[in-house]
Amino acid sequence: MQDSFISEQLQTFVLTVGLGILIGIIYDFMMTGRKFIRLSRGAHFFVDLLFCLTMTLLVFIALLVNNWGEVRAYVFIGLGGGILIYMLLFSRHVSRLLLKTFSLLIVFVSSLIRPFLMIYRKISLLLARIKKKTRDIFKEKKE
Interval 51-69: pLDDT, tens: 999 999 999 999 999 988 8
- 79 and 18 share a domain? yes
Domain contains 94: no
Q: Would you say residue 42 has pLDDT above 90?
A: yes
- Contact by Cβ (8 Å): 78, 16: yes
- 84 and 103 share a domain? no
The pLDDT assigned to 142 comes to: 67
* Orientation angle between helical segments 2-36 and 41-67, nearest 10 degrees: 160
- 71 and 33 share a domain? yes
The predicted-structure confidence for 66-91, as pLDDT tens digits, reads as follows: 988 889 999 999 999 999 999 999 99
Please give the tally of structural domains in the chain.
Answer: 2
3-state secondary structure 54-101: HHHHHHHHHHHHHHCCCCCHHHHHHHHHHHHHHHHHCHHHHHHHHHHH
Domain contains 76: yes
Query: What's the sign of the alpha-carbon dihedral 101, 39, 31, 15?
Result: negative
- 103 and 85 share a domain? no
Rounded CA gap, 22 and 79, in Å?
10
Q: Which pTM does this prediction carry?
A: 0.78
The pLDDT assigned to 1 comes to: 63
- 104 and 123 share a domain? yes
Mean pLDDT value of segment 8-19 = 95
- 81 and 124 share a domain? no
- 57 and 7 share a domain? yes
- 51 and 116 share a domain? no
Q: Give the residue numbers spanning the domain of 124.
A: 99-143
Rounded CA gap, 85 and 40, in Å?
31
- 38 and 79 share a domain? yes
- 72 and 28 share a domain? yes
- 15 and 79 share a domain? yes
